[in-house]
Amino acid sequence: MKLLIVDVTTEAQAFCAKRIESFNQSDIEMLDLKVKLVNDRDFLERVPEADVLVLGSGLGERATALARQAMTVVPWLHIVLYVTDEAYGGGAFRAAHSVGVRKVFPDSASPLDLLQELVAIHAEFRKEGRAREGKVIAVTHAKGGVGATSISAALGEVCSVYGRRSLLWDMDVETRDLSRSLTVNGVEAKVVSSWVNGSREISRESLKDALIPISSDVSVLMPPDRMAESMDLVCHTDGMGIVQRIVELSRVMFDVIIADTGGRMGPATGGLLRAADVVLVVIDDTILGLTAVDLYLTFIKTLVGGSDRILFLVNPYSGDLLGVPQIKAELEPVHNLGELPWRLPPIPNDPKAALWPGSGRTLYSKGQRATRLALERVAREIGAIDVDSSGSHPQAPELSSGGVSVGQESWLKRVFGRRDSGGVSNTGNLPESRNKSVTDFSEGS
C-alpha cells in the first residue's frame, strides 16, 4: 500500500511520517507500506502513484482544496487529513468529508488510530482485489500413504502453469517427503531453525532467505534443518505463533500457499488448520482409510470449527474399492457434513504417474489426461487458480496428443531440470530477484 504524505515543509512531512515509523515492523510488512514525502506544490505529480493520501496539519485550510484536486485526478483515492487540535471539530469534519476525505485526525491522535484506519483500507483493498491476499490450503490426511504429498506437489505445478505465484510449504518435519520428492535441499532450512530457536526474527526479508525458488512462480519452504527445532515447531505451543507469522507474511507475498502438514498434529499444525482457507483432507478408497477418516473427522471438525472449510479429495489406492458415493454414504449419517465437502472429483488411479517423486515431474505433468484434468478441476474448486465466466482459465495450456500440455515440457525442464550430480536441486545460483530487495515507493523519483 503506497502512502503519499503531503505537508508544507520537510519538517512537517517528517513529523507526520514518524507516526508510521512508530508502527510495529510486522504491521508495516503486513500492510506492505511504502511511503513518499512531498510538498504541496508538487504533490499532484505523485498522486497517481498513491493508494492513500495523508494531508498534514500544516496545510491548514488549503487541505480541502488539495483533497478536491487529488480526487479529481484519482477518484478512488483514500484520503486521511490531520488538523491541529484547536481546529479539530464539526466544522473540520464537514469541510473534509464534503471533498471526499475519509478520516480526520487531530495532531494529538495516537499513531494506532492511523494504523487502524490503514488496516481497514487494506481490508477493503483485499476485497476489491487491489491487494494480494494469498489463499492458504492445508493438505492433511487421516492415515499415511494416501498421496497427500503427491497432491500438494501437483497442485503447486498446476498453480505455476496457470501463472499463480505459489509457496509449497513442507511441514512434514520427520520425513520431509515433499522436499525429498522434489529433490530440494539447501542451507535455507537453517533460517527456519533460527526462527524456532529465537536467533532470528521472522520478517519478510528472512522469509525470502528461507525460500528455495524452483521456478519464477514456485518456492519451497523446508522444515527446520535440525530435529530439535523441528520437534519444537510442531509440538511446542510457541510453534503456533511462528506458523501464524509465516501465514501472515506468505499471504502478502504469494497468491497460493499449499502446506503439506504430513499428518503431524500439534499446536502449530492445529493453528495452521484453523487459519487455512481450505482444509483439504486426502483419503484413499480402502476400508482402513474409511475408518481412519471417521475417527479423524471427530477431531478435525472441532479443531477447524465446523465443516465449511473442509473438503475431501479421494485419491484411489487401486480404483476398484470404495467410490466417493460409498464413502460419503458411510460418513454422512454420523458427521452430517452436507454436500459441499464432497464436491471435488476423485483423482483417477494412475500407476505410472505415481512414480513421479525424484523424476523432475509431478503427478500433474506425469499423469494421463484424465489425471491432469481432475487436478485442474480440483485447483479451480479450491480457489487455487482463477476461472473466467466460461469455467476455464484464460491461460490454461492446451493438451497435446503426446500427453504433456503444450509449452509445459519446457516449464518442467526450467523448474526441475537444474540438478547437480548428486540429484539435489542446484540452489547455489538463485534467480536474480531472490537477491534484490523490494524497491520502496519512497525510492522513486
220 phi, psi to nearest 5 deg? -115, 135
The CA distance from 224 to 271, in Å, is 18
How do residues 195-246 score in pLDDT, each as one tens digit?
Answer: 999 999 999 899 999 999 988 899 999 999 999 999 999 888 999 999 999 9
CB contact set of 76 (below 8 Å; sequence gap of 6+): none
Q: Where does 305-360 have alpha helices with state H?
A: 324-335
269-300 pLDDT tens trace: 899 999 999 999 999 888 888 888 888 888 88
Which residue type, as a one-letter code, is found at position 167?
Answer: L
* CATH, range 2-130: 3.40.50.2300
Q: What is the CATH number of domain 135-426?
A: 3.40.50.300
Please give the average per-residue pLDDT across 246-256, as a whole number.
92
100-136 pLDDT, tens digit each: 999 999 999 999 999 999 999 988 887 777 777 899 9
Cα separation of 148 and 261, whole Å? 9
What lies within 8 Å, CB to CB, of 436 at 6+ separation is none
Q: Which residue type, as a one-letter code, is found at position 44? A: L
Can you give the pLDDT at residue 26? 82
Q: What residue ranges of the chain are covered by domains with CATH 3.40.50.2300?
A: 2-130
Whole-number Å distance between alpha carbons of 186 and 82? 49
Q: Where in the chain is the domain with CATH 3.40.50.300?
A: 135-426
Q: Are 223 and 216 in contact (CB under 8 A)?
A: no
- Give the pLDDT band of residue 31 (cuts 50, 70, 90): confident
Mean pLDDT of 407-426: 39
Residue pLDDT, tens place only, 305-321: 878 899 999 987 766 67
Distance CA 96, CA 65 (A): 9
Site of grid cell 460409498: 326
Q: Are 336 and 368 in contact (CB under 8 A)?
A: no
- Do residues 220 and 97 touch, judged by C-beta distance below 8 A? no
| Predicted confidence (pLDDT) at residue 410 exceeds the cutoff of 80 | no
CA distance 199 to 203: 13
The rounded distance, in Å, linking the Cα atoms of 290 and 292 is 5
pLDDT at 403 over 60: no
Span 381-400, pLDDT tens digits:
999 998 653 344 444 443 33
Residue (of 157, 134, 105, 58) closest to 367 by Cα position: 157
% of the chain beyond a pLDDT of 70: 86
SS3 for 6? strand
| Non-local CB neighbours of 31 within 8 Å, separated by 6+ positions | 1, 118, 119, 122
Which residues of 216-345 form beta strands (DSSP E)?
Answer: 218-221, 256-260, 278-283, 310-314
Distance from CA of residue 439 to its chain's centroid?
20
Which residues have C-beta within 8 Å of that of residue 141, sequence separation ≥ 6? Answer: 148, 263, 281, 282, 283
Residue 299 main-chain phi, psi, to 5 deg: -80, -50
382 closest CA partner among 353, 349, 340: 340
Count, residues in the chain: 445
